[in-house]
Homo-oligomer: A and B are copies of this chain.
Amino acid sequence: LNTWQIEETTFDPKSLHVGETIYTIGNGYFGTRGSFEEGYPGSTEATLLWGVFDSVEISKEELANVPDWLTVRLTVNGEHVRLDRGTILEFRRTLDVQRALLQREVLWRGENGLTLRLRSERFASLVNEHCGALRYSLTVEQDLPEAVEIEFWATFNQAVGNNNLLHWEMVDQGKEEASFWLHSQTRHSFVQLVQSMRLNTTTEGFEQEVLDLAGGIRLYGRLQVGETLTVDKLVSMYTSLDDGEPQANALKDLGLERSYYTLLGQHEQAWQAFWQQADILLEGDDKSQQAIRYNLYQLRCNASAHNSRASIAAKGLTGFGYDGHVFYDTEIFMFPFFLYIQPLIARNLLLYRYRLLDGARKNAQLSGHKGAQYPWESASDGQETTPTIVPQQNDGKPGLVLNGLLEVHISADIAFAVWNYWQVTGDDAFMRDSGAEMLLSTALYWSSRATYNSEQKRYEIQDVIGPDEWHIHVNNSVYTNAMARWNLQTALSILDWLQNDAPARREELVARLDLNESTLQHWQEISSHMLILQDQKTSLFEQFEGFFKLEPFDQGPYAGRYSSYQALLGVDPLQTHQIVKQADVLLLLTLLKEQFDLETKSANWQYYYPITDHDYGSSLSSALHAILACELSLCDVAYDLFSEGVLVDLENRDADSARGIHLGSCGAAWQAVVFGFAGLRFTPSGYTTHPCWPKDWKRLAFNVQHKGQNVHVDLRREDT
């Protein structure tokens, strides 16, 4: 097994869409699904650019699939070359994650009997994030008396949508020297996009013509048997969200000195640098080695190193799932990878949230609260974009979605990422200029959201949805209350830090956010008296008020199911039973790990682990659960959980990979290895590891960045 490559040697049209997701390439500026250049019936080709949203009715806005830059159409002796016609004699598709290069080789026989070898390779340049490059080649494999006629057409296919939804309108198109350019705009948000292309071929005897009215470049000529035509399609894309004039930028990028090889060489170097920092060496289990590398590849493909307005959607730029919206998946599940591997990207992810503070303030106002309430689903402006009505999973009828109103823990989750960033990087400037304001604004939200129960003399948070989304309108979610308390305490400590390190900034923030002494006392008061439901005898946390009184849920009858309990039973039955969608109390024990002893962790694990829907509840659970399992020395359980997470897309385990990569799971997989199996912890005097070895694992080695230092961890299993 080549642990740097994902490969398939047959093509199954039934898994067309899953394959398109798996073989996605990207660089954070854009992602392009692994559809075929020649097109294929029913394909969901897509190139998504971060930040390029257009409106949709049901959920405000979504990332708008741009005209397809891959499109190539060709005929050989008048016959269309396309994989749904003729016969595929050989097929091989390889994603080399080390070089971030997708290759396909097909031996194809047309209906007229002509046999061709078709090769293509493509990449999304990590050096120039605006550039995509495609090399397409065709060899006549057959013995024929005379040359064959080839016609080749390269275009930007505008007849694409987000599934059915068409977001772009053509503004203009034209040519400049050997380049063709297409200018489009989104239909509602009026983002301007210019895509340009150039074709290069070294094959002799082929003529090229830019047909700007027809919208592309035509290449034609004759090929002798045994000869190969190789065409490079170089593409550049700029939008009005970028600096400068899109058209000038897009044309400049295709200067003649740019060749496919130059671009590829730079690209490979950049990925080499990435892997030097990011790779995890895992000896003894090639399948996991391959899978973790694929997960890290996807994380990198979907994060932008150059754009401090960029975040990562739940499915990144890999598919239409969740409309390109950003959830807590980013801060809680993906963020730690970037924090320890590419802190500049981690910083960008936080700056995205910082820039949207105004939107979060509007959300708080709309719900009658102070401070900043981050949206459960976030897109371009920080306002809530969660759809309010969607077809229900069990019967397809319209159902209300309340997460946008009630799943408020995300504000504390973002605050938590801000704090962690500061702890791990020591980036005081960020904390002073951006982080502190986020911590204080979210604390202000919590202080107005918590209500005082004068009878019980305690603070409560009513009517929320916790991470376990199957229980709606719950009171005093342990996760939510504990994270809110943490948020308030941390905000107070940041004010102390500012007092010493940046008193002017403190004054400015205190004045602007109206944080007078009584406000701060109130924060202290809430922190001290926040209700955290825990049975002192058993150490068990009660997920929310009344959870322990719900009916037990018998999972027995559902063995062998292929979908989540919610999809099977609908919303109501789950609401009244002790069945948990995903890590909730256990997530809290993982995030705030220093606050809880091993006994508490063990007791809660034993209670909550069995009543969680590990198979189909949420892809966020599996790998994350592994961290706690390792801490409790349940190494085989941890391994199974990790496998479930790290293979969720490669093996389409949730049967929904067609909608895009589960990037939260990719991030959780990295955390499982580093914090779970390696047991890495930083202490004031350095770091410690506490390995938990799955059966076959022999060695685990990786790097992390900590306070500007590179830390190389290399663990080898001692024979027992």
Contacts and interface: CB of A to CB of B under 8 A. Distances in A.
Interface in A161-204: 161, 164-172, 174, 187
Contacts of A161: 161, 164-166
Given A41-B169, A164-B167, A169-B42, A155 B214 contact: yes
Most buried by B among A39, A56, A164: A164
B213 A153 contact: yes
A493 to B, nearest CB: 42
Contact of A214 (B56, B80, B172, B214): B214
A80 B172 contact: yes
Contacts of A309: none
Contact of A159 (B74, B152, B158, B214): B158
Nearest to A79: B174
Nearest to A184: B159
A429 to B, nearest CB: 43
Contact of A166 (B41, B165, B174): B165
A171 B74 CA distance: 15
A658 to B, nearest CB: 15
A56 B56 CA distance: 14
Contacts of A212: 75
> Is chain A's binding surface mostly helix, strand, loop or mixed?
strand
B159 A170 contact: yes
A389 interface: yes
A132 interface: no
A74 B212 CA distance: 10
Contacts of A42: 169
Contacts of A153: 211, 213-214
What is the total number of copies of this protein in its complex? 2
B169 A187 contact: no
Contacts of A214: 153, 155, 211, 214-216, 218
Nearest to A396: B57
A393 interface: no
A169 B168 CA distance: 16
B391 A389 contact: no
A151 interface: yes
Interface string A622-653: 00000000000000000000000000000000
A35 B653 CA distance: 49
A98 interface: no
Nearest to A170: B159
A151 B211 CA distance: 10
B166 A166 contact: yes
A3 interface: no
A259 interface: no
27 contacts: A41-B169, A41-B171, A42-B169, A57-B391, A73-B213, A74-B213, A75-B213, A153-B214, A158-B158, A158-B159, A159-B159, A159-B170, A161-B161, A161-B164, A161-B166, A164-B165, A164-B166, A164-B187, A165-B166, A211-B211, A211-B218, A213-B218, A214-B214, A214-B215, A214-B216, A214-B218, A389-B389
Give 8 nearest A-B pairs by CB, closest first.
Answer: A153-B213, A158-B159, A161-B166, A214-B214, A166-B166, A73-B213, A159-B159, A164-B166
